[in-house]
Structure 1
Amino acid sequence: MVTEAEKFAKEDKEKRDAIDTKNQVDSILYQTEKKLKELEDKVPGPVKEKVEAKVKELKNAISGGSTQAIKDAMTALNQEFMQLGQSIYS
């Protein structure tokens, strides 16, 4: 049993990582889209377009299935989302 558990430990870790990443992505997409709707009239056009482009990239990465590509797209979206916040408060 121990040998079998060790054999599948790596697979289990990868599956857990993929599930955790998917949950984070769902949360980030929801929050981003919600804020875009709430602040639609306050967000400058170019900033909104960049954020929407990153949302689209993240959704494309999800359909691709690579966990690392999803993480990279999620990081890029987070950076653009921070720019959105800065543009509103400046």
Structure 2
Amino acid sequence: MGFTLQHPIDLRVKVLAEYKAGVVGYKTLAVKYGLPRDTVRYWVLQQRDGRGLPVDTKNEKTIIDEQKDIEYYKTEAEYWKAYAKKLEAIR
């Protein structure tokens, strides 16, 4: 038997990101998002222990993957341009 999440993942990501920014604490976030203070504290402690959501890692990986994709498509575009020039020269 499993368990269901009581709060959406995107809510957890928002709360953890705001907490990590260092501007607000558990109580302020709890009031802002209508959560129990202990829930916010639990999420933060899970994050610190490495058992929580990989908020920063996910964002960094996404950015790195996007950069790799952009470089790949730039290279492909250059290849196809050169190929098209060769075909035009043959004609």
Larger Rg: 2
Identify, as 1 or 2, the structure richer in helix: 1
When normalised by structure 2's length, the TM-score is 0.38
When normalised by structure 1's length, the TM-score is 0.38
